Amino acid sequence: MILILPNPGQDIYTGRFAPSPTGPLHLGSLFTALASFLHARSQLGVWLLRIDDLDTPRNKEGSVTAILECLEAFGLHWDGSVYYQSQHLADYDYFLEKLAQNQFTYRCICSRKTLAELFSDDSQNNKHNIYPGICRNKSIPANTPPAIRLKTEPCTLSFHDELQGLISHNLAKQHGDFILKRKDGITAYQFAVVVDDALQNINHVVRGCDLLEETSKQIYLQQLLGFSTPAYMHVPIIVDQDGYKLSKQTLAMAVDTKTPNLTLFDLLVLLKQNPPDELNGVSVSELLDWAIIHWCTIELALCSAISL
Ligand code: GLU
């Protein structure tokens, strides 16, 4: 078992918020942004903003402006200029090539149909969603555009999450050889996030619990590329009354920016910060000043999800 300890060194706390521009922020994403912001600012840290805009078919026009305006309205001012993944395509290719040179990757031409058949239920209704390495040792014809997969090893990788405690995953068994670059040429989230976090010198990642499962893949990639591993904190996700995660897929509404101070107060309640009643109605900056000084994650650690 490999236990990964964060390696933030003596560097100044550097965190980030990395929304995908697939629509305006909803309450769930703003909740994560606020947690990430407060955690950084409470440690006098830097807080960066990255726009995860690689998945171009899913990007929605106008989302970036809406996201930036929403963060501004809620007083979540980021440091420096906004980092756009779409401006770093050469960086992803550079590091992908490094992995290829070390034979950590292989080209995969399995079609969607092959994968759909593989991942469908078998006669005993067992679900298979681990790619069984069909193309690992195949020679791939040059005229077929391949996906690039990472070879995973059957080792257990463990890390300490600041809220969720010790998390262990067996990469090969639980995730299999995962994709770094899709057949359509789009760099996969798993890979881009590792390169971006390294290029931005991120040493603290605060994000939603829905990405907890993905973290071991990212740590594995950091090790292969010689990057340091940030500290991780996965906050609970917000669910609706039916228990579904707020997301664009469940048609979660865009955050209303008309009365940000009142929404911010409600978010601090959801974040288990227990803001005193007399702060309900004060300005956004007054509320944030209070929240930065009083930021505490003890009660948050007891929740797996937070219902509206
Ligand atoms: N862009 C990702 C999302 O919106 C978050 C990436 C991350 O925080 O690592 O879900």
Q: What does the alpha-carbon distance between residue 301 and residue 308 come to, in Å, rounded to a whole number?
A: 18
Of 222 and 302, the structure prediction assigns the larger pLDDT to 222
If one residue of 60, 189, 212, 233 were mutated to test the ligand 1 pocket, choosing by the most ligand atoms within 8 A of its CB, it would be 189
User: What pLDDT is attached to residue 113?
Assistant: 85
β-bridge pairing 46-51 and 231-235: unpaired
The mean of the pLDDT values for the chain is 92
Q: What does the alpha-carbon distance between residue 236 and residue 271 come to, in Å, rounded to a whole number?
A: 9
User: What pLDDT is attached to residue 117?
Assistant: 81
Verify whether ligand 1 is closer than 6 Å to residue 194 (CB atom).
no
What is the percent of the chain with per-residue pLDDT over 90, rounded to a whole number? 78
Cα 37 to middle of ligand 1, angstroms: 15
Determine which of 136-140, 204-208, 270-274 has the lowest per-residue pLDDT on average. 136-140
Cα 143 to middle of ligand 1, angstroms: 33
CA 115 to chain centroid:
25
Please check the confidence at residue 249 and state whether its pLDDT lies above 90.
Answer: no
Cα 280 to middle of ligand 1, angstroms: 30
**Arithmetic mean of pLDDT, 236-265:** 86
**Arithmetic mean of pLDDT, 112-130:** 71
Verify whether ligand 1 is closer than 6 Å to residue 207 (CB atom).
yes
**Arithmetic mean of pLDDT, 196-203:** 98
Which residues contact residue 13 at a Cβ distance below 8 angstroms, ignoring those fewer than 6 apart?
A: 40, 43, 44, 45, 46, 203, 204
Verify whether ligand 1 is closer than 6 Å to residue 195 (CB atom).
no
Structure token pair of residue 238: 């917000």
Verify whether ligand 1 is closer than 6 Å to residue 193 (CB atom).
yes
Verify whether ligand 1 is closer than 6 Å to residue 32 (CB atom).
no
Verify whether ligand 1 is closer than 6 Å to residue 20 (CB atom).
yes
Verify whether ligand 1 is closer than 6 Å to residue 211 (CB atom).
yes
Contact criterion met (CB below 8 Å) for 2 and 22: no
